[in-house]
Structures are given as C-alpha cells and as structure tokens.
Amino acid sequence: MMTVSSRSFWGGMSQAFLWALLLSVGVIVVYPLLWMALGGFKSNSQIFEQPFALPLQWSFANYLSAWRGVQGYMVSSLLITAVSTVTTVFISAWAAFGLTRTPMPAKPLVTAIVLGGMMLSPTVALVPLVRMLQSLGLYDTHWALIILYTAFRVPFTTFLIRAYMLDLPRDLDEAAMMDGASPGQIFRRIILPLCRPIIMSCIVLHILFAWNEYLFAMIFTNNPSVQTLPVGLTSMMSKQGTDFAQVFAAMTISALPIVIIFFLTQRYFIRGLTEGIGK
C-alpha cells in the first residue's frame, strides 16, 4: 500500500515535472520572438558577431526606419482584416442560425453544401478567380482580398458557430416567440449574446488568417498601396536583404498586433473552443 507521504512525494514530482515542461515550452515559443525583437535594436555587425547578446545601444532608429517602410502595408492589412472579420463572422453567425434554429426544406443537404466549402482548396480556384475579379473590376483592390477572405472562411466559421448553437436550449427561442419576437430579434438579442465565446474565438482565428495570409495577397494585388504586410515584408527583405536589423524590426512590428490581440482575448478564445452552454 502506498503511504500518504509517498503519494504526496510523487504528486509533488509530477507537479514539478509539469511546471518544468510548461516552462520549457514557453521558452521555446517566446525566445525566438524575443530574439527577433532584440535584433531590431542591434547593428548588422553585432547581429553576426554577438547574435545572442543584448544590444549594445538601445536605439529605436531601426524601428523608426522599418515603420516608415511598412506603415502603408499596415494600413491595408488593418482595413482588410477588420472588414473581412466583420463580414465573415456576421454572415457565418446568420447562416448558423438559419441551419440550426429555423425550419427549411432539405436542411441536411444545405448544411452539407455550406460546410463542403471547407474542402475547396484556394490554389485550385486561383485562375478562375483572377479572371472573375478582373472582369468585375475588383482586381488589385482592397475589396478583392476582402471578398476572397470572407468567401473562403465562411464555411469553417459557420461550422464552429453552428456546432456551438446546437447546444443552446430551444426553450429560449420558444419563449421569445411567445413574447412576439421576430427571428431577427431572437438572433440579435438572444442567440448572439449567448454565442459570444465562440464568436470571439472565430474573430481571433480570422484575424490570424487574414493578417498572415500571403498567397491571395501576392496574386491579387500589385499596387503597394493595396498590398498587405506579408507581401510588404517580402518586398522589404528583397530590398533590404543585407540590413537584417531593419528586417527584424519590421517583422517585430508586424507580429506585435497579433500577439497583443491574442493575449487580450485568450480567455474567450479558449473558452469558445472548449465549452458549450448546453453542458
């Protein structure tokens, strides 16, 4: 039989091992970001001679120069990410509401068609999409990326919100209908507030996708005033390929908004993906 002292010993050992593992994972994740951020304060010579040392001089000259180079791309990324996030989440939430809370003929077939969009590879549709956007006069505009990001993310976002809505009690809908609420009012005033965790998760996921997406942004834009940060960073690295300090500073500026957003919303993000109100 295992005594109380031996159980507490092994319990303490497992706890220490868990903390050591989490600390190791944290170092593996954080250290490259920290090394990149510190590289923006160094000179090229120090990066090569002392890559793991602290900067000799804490000057923001590299960051200021990098900001002047990427600020136009930053504005485009902010605009495209914000608009596509709003449109994607709203359309997906409304579609999920229709697929779960309203009667319609052939609902399983409609659900399969909507969710089947997740199986469509974006690379397969590149050529027809280029021709279509050119014929519509939307090629090389912000709207081209907004429409594409929305279209290709709606099926996945609908899948997540629909799975969450299936656990919501239908008694709420029936009570609201007895009080005279319309389907639109039920959606806005009851379902959307209850789906806040999964909606926050979908917002974070879409921001991560739209902010870092490169293929569509490279193919469907040519004008620097329209191009997003990933394309701008690639262009900057080709022009400043030997100025690694400035490149590191630009990469840090690009990653900073995503890191801040994730840390501010991580509680809702994890809760939305792991919890259900019907538990």
pLDDT tens figures, 119-154: 777 788 888 899 999 999 999 999 999 999 999 999
Please give the pLDDT value at position 275.
Answer: 60
The band of 277, judged by pLDDT with boundaries at 50, 70 and 90, is very low
pLDDT at 47 over 70: yes
What's the mean pLDDT in 45-59?
82
DSSP at 220: S
Q: Which two tokens stand for residue 228?
A: 């997003």
Orientation angle between helical segments 142-165 and 107-115, nearest 10 degrees:
130
Is-contact 268 200, C-beta < 8 A?
A: yes
pLDDT at 4 over 70: no
Please give the pLDDT value at position 92.
Answer: 93
Distance CA 233, CA 263 (A): 24
Is-contact 245 42, C-beta < 8 A?
A: yes
Distance CA 143, CA 250 (A): 25
The class level of CATH for 72-274 reads mainly alpha
The band of 10, judged by pLDDT with boundaries at 50, 70 and 90, is low
Q: Considering all CA atoms of the chain, what is the largest pairwise distance in Å, rounded to the nearest integer?
A: 78
**242 vs 101, which has greater pLDDT?**
101
DSSP at 228: -
Distance CA 213, CA 211 (A): 6
Distance CA 198, CA 99 (A): 16
77: number of Cβ within 10 Å: 25
What's the mean pLDDT in 181-209?
87
What's the mean pLDDT in 193-214?
90
Please give the pLDDT value at position 189.
Answer: 85
CA distances from 190 to 62, 95, 99, 115, 168 (A): 50, 16, 16, 24, 10
Please give the pLDDT value at position 274.
Answer: 67
The band of 76, judged by pLDDT with boundaries at 50, 70 and 90, is very high
pTM of the model: 0.84
Domain boundaries, the chain: 72-274
Residue among 206, 222, 207 nearest 130 (CA): 222
Please give the pLDDT value at position 210.
Answer: 93
